[in-house]
Structure 1
Amino acid sequence: MGTWDIGHFDNDTAADFSGSLDDAAEADRPGILRETLLRVARTEEYLDSDEAAEAVAAAALVAAQCPGGEPVTTAYGPDEPIPALPPELRGLAVSALDRTLREPSELLELWDESGSGPAWRADVLRLRDVLVAGGDAPGAGGESALG
């Protein structure tokens, strides 16, 4: 795992994902985020670390548009703007984060092996809290957006 810090974009996979968003037409970016989150949320078998890292980055972009969300200002995030995202992506982002934090998850295992697992997990849970507080997310009276 090519990582340099615990931030949501502080790894090669998330940085590459940001580049793919920049390369896509602006109108296609919400769909890319949705498909990335959906792929992870629906994974029942072993979750690959690259897919999980992309989902965490996608969830950070969704959370950035929530009340209380932090803007993505890192140089490793997308350079091009993310258009207004539909609120139902919040629930899907929560589901993807929940899946990332549940075994079997390679990303979870790698962070736990690194010794930085608790700090990384706390950052992901803070992101999840923003998404839930933003509404339309499981735990906030909304339904899961897996469909």
Structure 2
Amino acid sequence: MGFWGVGPFDNDDAADFADDLDAATVDVRIEMVGSVLDRVVTAHDDIDMWHAPRAVAAAALVAAQCPGGRATCPIYGPSTPMPQFPSSLKQLAIDALDNVLAASAWRAPEWRDASNGSQWRRNIIALRNVLDPPQRETLFEI
């Protein structure tokens, strides 16, 4: 598998996933995105190099539909428009990204060096923040 960058679709598996989504019907696309996210959520520490990049790409597609998501998650994967994803995929995407971050054994060698690794991690955290924005605390409500 080839990795040429740190973005959600910057690897062969995610690019293949985008092609698979383009070839599928609308209803099947929703199922495909949910299935790849669920696989990574239920895999826990057994995440492999085939599922993790696809899960990151799937989470980016879900995040792109959230407020501010298009600006934070530029998507150049699938060429066909994605259907509106059900809200249940949002939490599944958050959990999948958490598992991808926690299971470092699968990571591409290109992401293990200091610059690419930290940029990849920042990209994953940015996706997660779009899906689950940090809450601002205030001392007093005005």
TM-score bucket (shorter structure): 0.7 to 0.9
Give a deviation string over 1:19-47, Cα, whole Å, max 9, x none: 00111111211111001000001112321
Give a deviation string over 1:87-120, Cα, whole Å, max 9, x none: 1111000000000011354027762257511110
Partner of residue 25, structure 1: 25
Normalising by structure 1, we get a TM-score of 0.82
The separation in 1 between residues aligned to 2:25 and 2:114, in whole angstroms, is 37
- Give RMSD over aligned pairs: 2.0
1:4 positional shift: 1.2
Greater Rg over alpha carbons, structure:
2
Normalising by structure 2, we get a TM-score of 0.85
Partner of residue 47, structure 1: 47
User: Which structure 1 residue ranges, 4+ long, deviate > 6 Å from structure 2?
Assistant: none
Partner of residue 58, structure 1: 58
Greater alpha carbon shift after TM alignment, 100-109 vs 79-88? 100-109
Q: Indicate the structure with greater helix content.
A: 2
Letter in 2 for 1:20: D
Letter in 1 for 2:119: A
The separation in 2 between residues aligned to 1:119 and 1:111, in whole angstroms, is 8
Aligned CA distance change for structure 1 residues 100 and 109 (closer, same or farther; 3 Å): farther
Aligned CA distance change for structure 1 residues 8 and 107 (closer, same or farther; 3 Å): same
Paired positions, count: 133
Unpaired stretches in structure 2, ≥5 consecutive residues: 136-142
Letter in 1 for 2:123: D
1:64 positional shift: 0.3
* Residues 110 and 116, structure 2, Cα contact 8 Å, conserved in 1: no
Please tell me whether residue 83 in structure 1 is matched to residue 57 in structure 2.
Answer: no
Unpaired stretches in structure 1, ≥5 consecutive residues: 134-138, 141-147
What is the percentage of aligned positions where both structures have the same residue?
42
Aligned CA distance change for structure 1 residues 99 and 110 (closer, same or farther; 3 Å): farther
